[in-house]
């Protein structure tokens, strides 16, 4: 069993977005991950995500800008190819009175107290988000099995804007991950010791009320079940997530049953897959409320338990050949079976 604490934070300051931020003594900002799931007036659903310090300390990774196609067992097409929006870019940081900004040639993030802007694909993506609820964190201190601490601060927001000429709205999240300052996020233990399944959601009801949040399911034996639940702007931190997945024949997540304690239930329906098998996106199919759903979004991340082995292979390939292997090619012929990624 893993010792951890899920808790709410007070109003953030600009200091919380700086690379120098230390939420605890000798903790450093290892990884910053903004992501969004949105639907357009066209009816299309899009997903996009970036990782600041995802590769090296001075780089930002573009995990892809996808237009979901309703297919769960293979990767959705990229809306903008990597030739136009590079996989890896250097970045710089600037700051004014209202925001700390992370900027590259094809993207810009402005992180403010309760607002966030995201420009990408050299202006073809233009998103503006407003935070809902408080910032919620979980903290896994150093202990047996965890040589490095794990601390994640999560911001949830409603986002509007445009992708191309399509007006969009949906869910925006910003996750900040901390550990020892010298660590890379793939070395700190989150992927290979803590994380199995993680999800985020936002549901808006026809009466104008809404619910949102995140939930985690840890690797077997951890009993990790951190929750941030937001109801009409009021946040609650919990540690009682119950998550059950229903899979396709290939092992892709098709639906997720999410429950907090005995009183809160959601069914998350997946619509498409990004970088199969890790990420699926979709809507909230049902809740335990006697309310009609007007709009909803969810983003689900499911890591097979042997993912660290594949991650190690990709890192070794990069060191040997000077470039990462094709992820799409690696996944050809693979399936997820009993929480393991296997090939025929």
Q: What pLDDT, on a 0 to 100 scale, did the predictor assign at position 313?
A: 82
pLDDT tens for residues 34-53?
999 999 999 999 999 999 99
Q: What pLDDT, on a 0 to 100 scale, did the predictor assign at position 33?
A: 97
Q: What is the pTM of this model?
A: 0.95
Q: What pLDDT, on a 0 to 100 scale, did the predictor assign at position 286?
A: 96
Q: What pLDDT, on a 0 to 100 scale, did the predictor assign at position 84?
A: 95
Q: Which residues pair with 269 in a beta bridge?
A: 255, 283
Q: Which is nearest to 129 in space by CA: 99, 90, 96, 92? A: 99
* N- to C-terminal Cα separation, the chain: 34
Which residues of the chain have a pLDDT value below 50? Answer: none
Q: What pLDDT, on a 0 to 100 scale, did the predictor assign at position 195?
A: 94
Across the chain, which distance is largest between two alpha carbons, in Å? Answer: 57
Which two tokens mark 229?
């639940």
DSSP string computed for 120-167: EGGGTEEEEEEE-S--EEEEE-SBTTBSS-EEEEEEEEEEEEEETTEE
Q: Is the dihedral angle over the CA atoms 63, 91, 171, 163 positive or is it negative?
A: negative
CB distance 87 to 283 below 8 Å? no
Q: What pLDDT, on a 0 to 100 scale, did the predictor assign at position 315?
A: 80
């Amino acid at each position: 069993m893993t010792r951890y604490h899920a808790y709410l934070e007070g109003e953030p300051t600009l200091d919380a977005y700086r690379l120098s931020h230390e939420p605890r003594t000798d903790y450093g900002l290892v990884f910053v991950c903004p992501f969004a799931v949105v639907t357009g007036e066209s009816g299309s659903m899009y997903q996009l995500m970036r990782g600041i310090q995802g590769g090296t300390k001075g780089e930002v990774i573009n995990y892809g800008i996808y237009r979901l196609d309703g297919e769960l067992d293979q990767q959705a097409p990229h809306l903008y190819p990597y030739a136009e929006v590079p996989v890896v870019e250097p970045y710089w940081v600037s700051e004014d009175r209202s925001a700390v900004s992370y900027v590259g040639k094809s993207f810009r993030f402005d992180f403010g107290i309760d607002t966030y802007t995201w420009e990408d694909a050299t202006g073809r993506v233009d998103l503006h988000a407003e935070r809902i609820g408080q910032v919620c964190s979980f903290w896994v201190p150093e202990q047996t099995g965890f040589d490095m601490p794990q601390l994640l601060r999560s911001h949830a927001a409603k986002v509007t804007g445009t992708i191309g000429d399509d007006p969009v709205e949906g869910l925006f999240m910003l996750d900040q991950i901390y550990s020892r300052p010298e660590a890379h996020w793939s070395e700190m233990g989150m992927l290979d010791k803590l994380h199995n399944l993680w999800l985020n959601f936002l549901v808006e009801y026809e009466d104008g009320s809404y619910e949102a949040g995140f939930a985690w399911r840890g690797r077997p034996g951890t009993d990790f079940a951190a929750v941030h639940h937001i109801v009409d702007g009021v946040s609650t931190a919990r540690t009682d997530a119950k998550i059950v997945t229903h899979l396709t024949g290939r092992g892709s997540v098709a639906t997720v049953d999410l429950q907090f304690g005995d009183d809160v239930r959601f069914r998350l329906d997946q619509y498409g897959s990004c970088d199969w098998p890790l990420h699926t996106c979709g809507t909230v199919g049902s809740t335990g409320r006697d309310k009609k759903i007007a709009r909803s979004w969810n983003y689900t991340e499911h890591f097979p338990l042997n993912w660290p082995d594949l991650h190690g292979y990709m890192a070794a390939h990069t060191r040997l050949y000077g470039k990462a292997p094709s992820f799409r090619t690696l996944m050809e012929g693979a399936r997820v079976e009993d929480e393991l990624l296997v090939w025929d």
